Amino acid sequence: MLARTHVHQRAFQAHNSSSKHASSRLACRAVAAPAKVELKAAGTTQGVEFAPLINGCWQLAGGHGREVFDGLEDKLRAHAEAGFTTFDTADIYGPSEGILGQFSSSWKDAGKQPLQVFTKYVPNIFNSRPSPASVEAAIKKSLSNLQVEQLDLVQMHWWDYNIGGMVDAAKCLADLQAKGLIKQVGLTNMDVAAVSKIVDAGVPVANNQVQFSLLDRRPLNGMLEYCQAHGIKLMSYGSVAGGLLSDRYVEEPKKGLFGQAKFSPVDLNTSSLKMYWGVAKQFGGQELWRELLQVLHQVAQKHNVSVANVALRWVMQQGDAHTVFPIVGMRSAVHIQDNVRVLSLQLDAADLAAIDEVLAKATGPAGDIYSFERGN
């Protein structure tokens, strides 16, 4: 076991010790487990079943406050016992892999239903070009952190398309899949051209993880159509924009740092809010964001659900029933019951028309997946 993983385990155990009896209050055992979906790329024989709403673990990378780690094992257990057994992490999310590896191991030892942990391969391509040996070393490090013999899903990110080696690195992952170290190979933050190159090279791509929300509709500029045509799952992060698309801000009065060059109408106290407020500004700024919130609130009241429910369901309804699956940040267990309602919600034509009236006024973001983030 790597020294880094030992540190993660100690942190994990320390965060759990103060609230070891809270899981019975948080587990939501009365919730019916959501039906699983199969993740399986064309040309592969081994699929992975996963929950239709995926627990996002970016918060464990830092920048979201220390309270994220309070009673962490209880939060993980509550989601898993409610049927949300799929967790998404990355090799660059700080201690996240080690924490999930420790939890998964204890969960398995207790004879519970299987968990799925999706991770990412994010090479530092600015320092060196990945080689077969370095790719395998990175995968074996994730295997060690997650305490498994085979990774459920590895999603590759490539920071700069101008740096060569992207397709070769993806093919290395496919080779490791053939060796049995990986069940499924996926991508993250890749645009249509990049995904197409990798698919055309013979890599069995199972999914592409992208930002997709009412504020960021770039997947509708070709990616969704491509994924549906090729049987690729589209996993969406940022679908509630770090909370900007939630009940929290519906009635909150306008406020901000008046007189400063960068006006912010919300307290940008997490990495998520900082990133997604930048997206909201491109969408149309504070006025259009608040107009959208009011419409979402009206739709939510009509269906007796939350604004976040409506935001998530809108994303899911952009594709067919087998394509779009949101990743929801797992900061606490209080949203579990609310998340369950997304699975039975269906937005009707009137709901979609009301939302479309606001979306028609949006000014961005424009372009393909991860376009402005890459400087395009």
Work out whether strand 151-156 and strand 182-188 pair parallel, antiparallel, or are unpaired: parallel
Residue 42's SS3 state is coil
User: In Å, what is the CA distance from 180 to each residue of 148, 176, 222?
Assistant: 12, 6, 32
pTM of the model: 0.89
Q: What domain range is 141 assigned to?
A: 49-249+266-374
Asked whether residue 34 is assigned to any structural domain, the reply reads no
Asked whether residue 355 is assigned to any structural domain, the reply reads yes
The tens digit of pLDDT for each residue in 219-275 reads 999 999 999 999 999 999 999 999 999 999 998 766 553 333 345 667 777 788 889
Q: What is the pLDDT along the chain (376 residues), one digit of tens a residue?
A: 233 333 333 334 433 433 343 333 444 444 566 889 999 998 888 889 999 999 999 988 877 678 878 899 999 999 999 999 999 999 999 999 999 999 999 999 999 989 999 999 999 999 999 999 999 999 999 999 999 999 999 999 999 999 999 999 999 999 999 999 999 999 999 999 999 999 999 999 999 999 999 999 999 999 999 999 999 999 999 999 999 999 999 987 665 533 333 456 677 777 888 899 999 999 999 999 999 999 999 999 999 999 999 999 999 999 998 999 999 998 788 889 999 999 999 999 999 999 999 999 999 999 999 999 998 7
User: In Å, what is the CA distance from 112 to each residue of 9, 26, 163?
Assistant: 20, 17, 44
Task: Tokens for 277, please give them.
Answer: 């407020």
Asked whether residue 161 is assigned to any structural domain, the reply reads yes
Asked whether residue 89 is assigned to any structural domain, the reply reads yes
The tens digit of pLDDT for each residue in 190-215 reads 999 999 999 999 999 999 999 999 99
Alpha helices in the chain (DSSP H): 3-17, 23-26, 72-81, 96-109, 132-146, 166-178, 192-200, 223-230, 271-283, 285-303, 307-316, 336-342, 349-359
Asked whether residue 326 is assigned to any structural domain, the reply reads yes
- In DSSP notation, 175-191 reads HHHHTTSEEEEEEES--
Separation between Cα atoms, residue 121 and residue 42, nearest integer Å: 21
CATH number at residue 120: 3.20.20.100
Asked whether residue 141 is assigned to any structural domain, the reply reads yes
Q: Identify the residue whose tokens are 């998520």.
A: 272
Tally of domains in the chain: 1
Asked whether residue 42 is assigned to any structural domain, the reply reads no
